[in-house]
A = this chain, B = another copy of it.
Amino acid sequence: MRILDTKNFLIPGFKVWGIHSGIKKTDKKDLAIIFSDREAAMAGVFTKNRVKAACVQLDAARIKSGTGQAIIANSGCANACTGKRGLHDARETSEIAARALGIKPEAVYVASTGVIGEFLPMPKMANGISTAVGLLSASGWEPAVEAIMTTDLYPKLAIVQEEIGGKTVTVAGIAKGSGMIHPNMATMLCFIVTDAAISAPMLKKALLVSTERSFNNITVDGDMSTNDMILCMANGAAGNKRPGAGSKDSKKFQACLDAVTRSLAKLVVRDGEGATKFVEIEVRNAKTPVEAKRAAMTVAKSSLVKTAIFGEDANWGRIMAALGYSGVEMDESRTDIFIGKSKLVEKGLGQGKQAEREAALALKQREVHIAIDLHKGKAGSTVWTCDLSGEYVKINAAYRS
């Protein structure tokens, strides 16, 4: 597998664009279209929130077909908590796009992100779609990814290549994240495109596995969104032989997909609202994989741990307290805690000033690694999060105004 520079963002058979249609009050881009020049195999993962945005409801029904050809994504308005009118608007969005693209509405998927409880401005959407379709280009990924950003500080892209079934296959993805980021669902918006030829059931399976290894291991603020989705389109333009189940090629494809989703998931955390640090939390030797992940996530979600990291304070007591209330089997007197390379805690006891100083140095970096050894079993889990800064509060106290 080759990891490409995101400047060379071209995926055979895909044309995209992003524009400002007027949904956002500022002059920032707010409408993106991703279009495959032929029908593609399609898979999706959607939020597990009981409150689902209109677009999630529409797409979750359409994805059953396993096929699709276009994605219309807007930022600035989530079209969530909008009832029947919201669902009608989402459907109409897909119909307008279908007419402009000359395809059937069922092949169009809709994604929205932004403020909950407001209706989509349909005349603006219609004009915007018509304009964007006219501008579609194989090299339009930069404006497209910009158009799905909300509080994101930078665009998130990832692209890899691999030889599969005798051809060079490209797997690429774009994502937006920042706030309302919490695992156990398809977190945020992420669109993955590939020119690989692959069956829809295999694509679906690969996407589920990949989501579990990437987006379901991150948390920014513990809030699960109503609009999260990952859509993956495989249009077969590479002309490769379809990988068979369990084949070496299918493993290569999975590795490509994993590389893209992990890269995007980490970018989402790195750009978490107000984040100043990227934090990797690794739990070792838990009793079960579920407990390992639960312990890591509880530490990752603790406001006290996150503010301590922001303050570059090696306050391991807060980590221990979070482990204690995580509900997993643990024994204080067996637990070791590392920050960076410093063994801060051994068998439940602090290892003194020198260890604290080393940990404090590790905390001064932009990337912080925390390892917890529970000595209770053999299961491990690694999750990614960011620190909690005053800027997070500032952003979210003022988001709508």
Q: B304 touching A400 by the CB < 8 A rule?
A: no
The segment from A75-83, A202-210, A234-242 that touches chain B is A75-83
Q: B179 touching A321 by the CB < 8 A rule?
A: no
Interface residue? A66 (CB, 8 A): no
Interface residue? A365 (CB, 8 A): no
Interface residue? A318 (CB, 8 A): yes
| Residues of A323-352 whose CB lies within 8 A of B | 323-325, 330, 332-333, 345, 347-350
Number of interface residues of A (CB under 8 A): 62
Q: B116 touching A307 by the CB < 8 A rule?
A: no
Q: Point out the residue from B52, B116, B304 that lies within 8 Å of A318, measured CB to CB.
A: B116
The segment from A28-36, A94-102, A259-267, A385-393 that touches chain B is A385-393
Q: B48 touching A313 by the CB < 8 A rule?
A: no
The majority secondary structure among interface residues of chain A is loop
Q: A321-B226, A325-B224 are in contact. Are A117 and B310 (CB under 8 A)?
A: no
| Residues of A28-64 whose CB lies within 8 A of B | 48-52
The chain B residue sitting closest to A226, CB to CB, is: B321
Q: B398 touching A311 by the CB < 8 A rule?
A: yes
Tell me how far the C-beta of A90 lies from the nearest C-beta in chain B, rounded to whole angstroms. 15
Q: A324 touching B226 by the CB < 8 A rule?
A: yes
Interface residue? A172 (CB, 8 A): no
0/1 interface trace, chain A 363-401, chain B, CB 8 Å (1 if under): 000000000000000000000000011101110111111
Told that A49-B324, A180-B304 touch, could you supply 6 new A-B pairs with CB distance under 8 A?
Answer: A50-B330, A82-B349, A115-B315, A116-B315, A117-B345, A226-B317
Interface residues of A (CB under 8 A from B): 48-52, 78, 80-83, 115-118, 179-180, 182, 221-226, 301-304, 307-308, 310-311, 313, 315-318, 320-325, 330, 332-333, 345, 347-350, 388-390, 392-394, 396-401
